[in-house]
Structure 1
Amino acid sequence: MDNADRTCKPCQGNCAICTGAGATKCETCKVGYYLKSDKSCSNTCDGNQYPDKQSGECKACSEIADCTKCAYSDNLGGPICSTCDGSNNLVKTAIDGTTTCIAEAQCAALNTDGTHFLNQAKNKCLLCSDITIDANTAGNKGVEHCKTCQKAADGTNPTCSACQDGYIKNTDGSACEFCGSNCATCTTASDMSTCSKCLPGYFLKTGSPNECVLCGDTAKGGIDGCAECSGTTGSLKCTKCKPNYNPSGEETNLTCTKVCEDETACGGTAGSCGAIVVDDDGSMKHYCSYCGESTKFPIDGICKGDSAKGSNTCDKGVCTSCTIGYFLYMGGCYSVSKEPGNLMCSKATTAGVCDTPNANSRYFAVPGQQTMTRTCRNPLSVL
C-alpha cells in the first residue's frame, strides 16, 4: 500500500511482496529471483554468495567457514564450496556430498591410508571413490566404490586399500569389484559362496550358493515385519521393525507386531493406522485414519485414490464427510455393507453418519456429535 494516497499499487523490480514503492523494498521475490541484502530481487547473486532455493534469498558462501566461492546443490538443499581461502585452502568433500575448507596437512599424505587424497593442484581433498573431479589429469582419479586409499607419489592415481561394503579390491588395488547381490563382505568377487556378511536389511542364508535374504522374508526363513536383523539362518534376531509394525522385547531380539492390516496401506511412516475396529471376537484391528499420500484417502480403512473415493468428501489424506451407505469414522469413510465398516455400524444416515441406534454394541456415539463414533476399547479413536 502506498501510504501517501492509501492506494494499493503493484510491487516493482521482480518483488512478490514489498513494503513500498521501488525495487529495493522487497520482502520476497518472484519465482526464479532471489532477495539480496539491499532488498532487491535478482536472478543472480554476488560472487561470494549463492542463490538459496529453500529461502529464496542470496546467502553468503562463508556459511561454510573460509569458503569464498560456492553454488547451491539441489541434492543437499544447501551450498557446496568450490574455492577456499586462507590457511584452510583445500576443499574437502564428504561422502554425503557436503564440503568443508581444511588445511593441506589435514588431507592424507603420500603413502598414507585415508578416506581422501590430495589432488595435483593441491587445492582439493578428494574422496577415494571420486572418479569425476579432474579425473582426466593423472593423480586426480580415485577408484570407484573405494573406502580408503593412498597415493605413492605426485602424478600417480591412488590405489585402493579397502572397498566400500559390497565390494572387494582386486590384486593391485586399481578397482573394487562387486561381491554379489546384497552381499557386504566377500573374499572373491561375484562368488556368493565366499560371502560372509550381508548388507543391512538382509541376512545370510547358507546354501549352494549362499544367499542374502530380506530380514522380513518369512518364506526364506526371515522374521515377519522385520526391517533389519543380525545372525544367520537358525540364529536370526530382529533389531529393527518395518514401518507400521510395533517392536517389543529386547532391542537386539525384537518381536514385530503388525499395527495396520496392510503395512503399506497408509503410506508407510508418513501415514497413520489409528482407526481401531473391534472384531466379533473382541480382537482389535488397525486401519488407516490418515494417508501419507495427499492424493489418497481412507476408504474402508485402506488408502485409495480418486476412483475409489466416489461421492465421499475427502482431501489431503483424510475424509470429512461421507455419501449414502457410508459413515465417517477416524478420518475415513466406511461402507455399512462390508468389513470393517459392518463391524461398527449396520446403517448410516443420508448425511453419512452412524447414529446411536445403528452402532454396534461395542461402539457409542458422542453426545451432540453424531459424526464421532468411538469404540469402548479405544477412547482416543475420534474422527
Structure 2
Amino acid sequence: MCLCSSLLPMYLLISMFDKTFFLIFVLQSVLAQPREATCTPGEATTNCKAGECNVWINGKDYCSGCAINTEFLINGACTNANDDSGEICTAPSQADGTCASCKEGYFLHEGGCYKIAQEPGSFICSSAGGAGLCSACKNDNGFFKNPSAADATKQSCIACNRTEPIDNVKGVDGCTVCNGPSEAGSGGNPKITTCQTCSPTEDQTERIVKTANEVTSCVTEAQCTAEEGFFVDNNGGKKCTECAGDCKTCKGGANKCTSCKPETNPYWKQDNNLDTGTCVNAEQCTGTNEYYTDDAEPKSCKPCREGGVRDCTKCEKVEENLVCKECPAKFGLGKKSCIEACPENSTESDEESKKVCKCNADFKPSEDFTECIVDSVCKTPYCKTCSNEVCTACAGGYYLTPTNQCISDCTTIKGYYGDTDKKCKACNSECAECVGAASTQCSACRAGKMLQYAKPDSPAEGGTCVGQCTTSSQVTGCKTCGAKIGGTDYCSQCKGEQVPINGVCADNSAASRANICTSDNNGGCTGCANGYFLFASGCYKIGQQPGKQVCAQADGSGECQKCANGLQARGGDCSTSTCHSTCATCSAADQEDKCTTCATGHYKTAQEGICASCENSNGDITGVKNCLDCAPPSSGSGSVLCYLMKGGDNTGGDSTNKSGLSTGAIAGISVAVVVVVGGLVGFLCWWFLCRGKA
C-alpha cells in the first residue's frame, strides 16, 4: 500500500496515453516485491497443507488446500466455520477443504471461495456474474477469464502465469498481463493465453514477450537473440519477434535481414550504409550488373567494388573470375578496375571499342592487378634475362646500367644516356650530361663551358658545349661577364643595342626576341617576358640551360618565384635559398631532414625527408662502397641499387663482381683452384724427391 500511495500523485499527472504503461510499471514493481508470509503451512488448525501455499495474489501467498479436513478454503485461508447467512463453500472436499462451488458474491479460484468485493478477491475479479461466478477478471492485475466458466463449479479467472492447465487453458510462465483465449483447447492440447507483459527473473533481469508460431513466452533479451531467427524488436514496446520471409537472421525489424534462408532467395544484399539488408536470388542480384554473387557461406550479393574490381560501375563473372563490365573512363589491367590513367609499364589499347590497359612486353599484371611487373625469374628489379643472378638484359622500356641494374631513364645517372641497344652509356667527354653519344648532343656542360643548343626551339635534342663568357673588344658583344651559374661565367651587360638573353648577348629588336627583355638602356634588362626570369641583369628561359639550374617558376614580369631547388625565391633571388648538401630539392633551407629529392650520390631513406650517401647504410638499407649513383631497394630493405661505381668498378654491390659471377660462384671456383694447385704441388714433390732417391 505504501508503494501505491507514493506513486498515485505521479499517476494523476501523466496523460491517459501513458497510464497503461505506468500501470504496467507499477504492476511489475509490485510483483518484484518480496512475498509476504500470509499463508502458514503446518498441521494445526487454520494451517495450510504442506506444499499448498502456492496461490500468489498481489505479492502474497495464499492457500490451495487445508491441513485439517473439517476446515474450508475461504479467501485463500483455512477457516473452521461458514458465515451466518449460509454455506460459502459448497460440497467441500473431505480431504483438504477445497470447494466444488461458491455461493453468490463469491467465486471459485484455486479450490477456494473468494469474495468479489473484498481483498484478495477484489484483486482478481471486478464484477459478479451470477451465483458463484465472476463475470470480468482484472487483466491488468494478471488474470484472464476462463472461457469454460459457465457455472459456479468452474474457476472463473486464471492467473496469466499459471502453467498447469485448467479446463484445457493455461497461462505463460512469468507473464503478468495477458489476453486469454476465446475458447478452450481439446484433448491434451490446451489453449495458451497471449502474454502482453512479463515479470523480471529472480535476479531482476528484464524479460520480454516472445512470439513464435503465434504462441507467446517470456524470455530475456539474451535468450531471444540466442535463438536463430529472432531479434529484440523495440518498435512499439520491447519484444522478441521472429524474423520474416526469407530472413534467416535479422536485426531491428522482421524484414531487416542479416543472413538468408538457403531455400529460395539465399543471397544477402546489404542496404545502403546499414548492417541489414534483403534476401534475393542470383538473377535479382546480378540483373543490373552493379552487383555480383558471392557463394562463400553465408552467401551474399555484393557491389562490384567489393569483389576486387575497383571503381567499376558494372561487373560480371567470366569463368568464375570477376571483371569490370562498364567503366566511366578506361578499364584497368585484366579489366579488374576502372582508372583514369594506365599504370607504369602498361599501354592503353582498344578492345571491343573500349579503352583497356595492357602490360607492355616483358611485363605481366601483379596478383592484385594494380601494377605491371616483370615476367621473369631474375631477382634484379625490371630484369628480363640474367646469368648467375647478374642481369644481362632489361625488360621493355628499361636500360641496363654499367652495374647490371635496370633503369627507365639513363640520364638520371649523371653523365650517361640510353643507347639503342638498351644500355646506359657514358656521354662524350665534351658533355657533363647528354641525350646521345655525339658531342653535339650535350644537355649540360662542365664548369667553364656553356651549352649552345643545336635548335633553340628543340632543347631536347641537345647541343654543343662552348667556351664561357669573355668580354668583347667590338662594338657589340659582352661588356661584363658578371653572371655565374654552375661554375660558368655568363654575360650580365652587353654593348650597343644588345641585351643578355640566356647569358649571351643578343639583339633584342629581332622578331624572335621581341619583348623578351625590358632594356635598362645600358646593356642590361630590368624585366623579362612570361616564361623567362631576371637574373644578373639578363633574361633566362625557364626549363632550359643555364636558367633551369637557377629558377623553376617565375611571374609574368620575370621575377623568380620558385627556385630550381624547390625553395621559394626571396624577392626574385635564389642565391640565399640553399638546400642541405644531401638534397637536390627540399622544402626548407639548409635542413638535413627536409629533402624532397636527393643529390647525386644519395638515396631516399625510410626516414621522412632524409637522404643518405650511396656508400652509407641507413636502417634496413645497406650502402655500397665506392657507389656514385644509386636508388633505394624497392622492397625497402637490402642493398642499394647502385647504378655507377668509382674508377670503373661497376659491380653495383656486394652480391656481384666484375666478371659477372656471383660471390658464391667465385668462392667455389677459388676452392677448386686451391685443391688443383695443391694436388699438383704434391705430385711434383713426390716426383722429384721420391723418384730421385729411386
Fold-level similarity (TM above 0.5): no
Specify which structure has the bigger relative contact order, considering alpha-carbon pairs within 8 angstroms and separated by 6 or more residues. 1
Calculate the TM-score normalised by the size of structure 2.
Answer: 0.19
Calculate the TM-score normalised by the size of structure 1.
Answer: 0.32
Greater CA radius of gyration, 1 or 2? Answer: 2
